[in-house]
A and B are shown apart, each in its own frame.
Chain A
């Protein structure tokens, strides 16, 4: 049985440590905030200029001046601060944010990431993704293992890159991999979903990986 999106989010949440400043991408990563391990307190950063992001507002309490980077209405917390886009990216690019959890279209065995553009299609833009992956201390990718049956974990990304050698860890519905940066470069399989075999994972993965 592959892991559900919820189970993937719980795995990703276990990467977080108490007191960390965290930036979550759109899609499955947004589920991480609702699946924190008990006793862990973090601050969510939203790159449009907010640290300490609260939950969605109650109906009728939405404020058009209070949104997250996905343009969704949110709320403040007692810890919240607001700042300019310039200060926001100083936080991100200056290495002050502990971790970013993002989705991906492709990841290579060197930790290259592609998640912003498909040649031939209308490109919407990279937003803050290139700054996040270049600047935060640790980048964890949370994604489905394949897209329409095609592997997303590749020897080399074929799509335009968001960042080169930036990914630390990849959590899919089938397995968790670490990107080995020192020693022998490449992917290391750390664990896999129950009743999924290594052979099944190999069949759906173009990248080489070692089994720890």
Chain B
């Protein structure tokens, strides 16, 4: 019997993995599919000086926003941080670094890092600020910018369903960055809504194979927030 990947709570799932000045990757798009319970446990741990790679930075009081409030974050590597007043305040005061990446470049840097690819060339950002200081090269008459892979000490992700082997299934657009981030860290910890026995997930339906997932915590309750509630009226 292999060592169990299942941990009783978020703090236990992160035990021994956190240290000051570490690099962390977090899944999610806006507040959709974010590993909220694991982020809370990181806040409680008091670890600081974090470099966080995540598409967004949460909002005030929710998601990664709570680590900004406690000043545990040194640097963010993100594509869009627009919805966070704490972020703006700390950034403008020079207390927080930001490295903006085009969203596709960010996704591909993470994919490359996870796949053992140190760098790649992309047309995205050629001729813009993003390309400054980076190697560029021409292929077949078009200009490309060299971007480097990203790999973190720890990845925290949210999935809908896991089996005890760590095979994961995501739900709808809560998939987003989670599967690619799962591949790009020394240790990946997943919080999940459902936990089942091996064999209960059809192998054809697995999104993230268990090899990428070292630790799993099954949550009893997940509070999912909606950033922009948009609806239509029923025909009368």
Contact = CB atoms under 8 A, between A and B. Distances in A.
Given A93-B104, A134-B124, A64 B228 contact: no
Given A65-B32, A84-B177, A85-B55, A127 B127 contact: no
A58 B175 CA distance: 23
Nearest to A132: B104
A15 interface: no
Interface stretch (B38-46, B66-74, B76-84): B76-84
A59 B233 CA distance: 7
Interface string B212-236: 0000000000001111111111100
B226 A86 contact: no
Interface string B83-115: 000001001100000001011110110110000
B92 A57 contact: no
Interface stretch (B3-11, B15-23, B166-174): B166-174
A55 B231 CA distance: 8
Interface size class of B (residues with CB under 8 A): 35 or more
A163 B128 contact: yes
A160 interface: yes
B125 A134 contact: yes
A75 B122 CA distance: 32
Interface string A74-102: 10100000111110110011000000000
B226 A67 contact: yes
B35 interface: no
Contact of B124 (A67, A84, A93): A93
Given A55-B232, A67-B32, A85-B29, A123 B176 contact: no
B173 A67 contact: yes
A67 B30 contact: yes
Interface size class of A (residues with CB under 8 A): 35 or more
A84 B180 contact: yes
Contacts of B140: none
A124 interface: yes
B129 A160 contact: yes
A162 interface: yes
Contacts of A67: 29-30, 32, 173, 226-228
A147 B32 CA distance: 34
A131 B80 contact: no
Contacts of A151: none
B123 interface: yes
Contacts of B178: 84
B104 A71 contact: no
A128 interface: yes
Contacts of A134: 122-126
A56 to B, nearest CB: 4
Contacts of B177: 84-86
Interface in B181-236: 207, 224-234
A89 B81 CA distance: 19
Interface string A43-83: 00011111000011111011111111111111010000011
A33 to B, nearest CB: 12
B146 interface: no
Contact of A71 (B111, B228, B231): B228
B227 A125 contact: no
Interface in A103-145: 112, 117, 122-131, 134-135
Given A89-B108, A128-B102, A62 B229 contact: yes
Given A47-B104, A130-B105, 16 more contacts: A46-B173, A58-B231, A58-B232, A62-B226, A64-B31, A64-B224, A65-B174, A67-B32, A67-B227, A68-B173, A69-B29, A85-B107, A86-B177, A124-B82, A128-B79, A131-B103
9 contacts: A49-B176, A62-B226, A64-B32, A67-B30, A74-B230, A85-B103, A125-B78, A135-B123, A163-B128
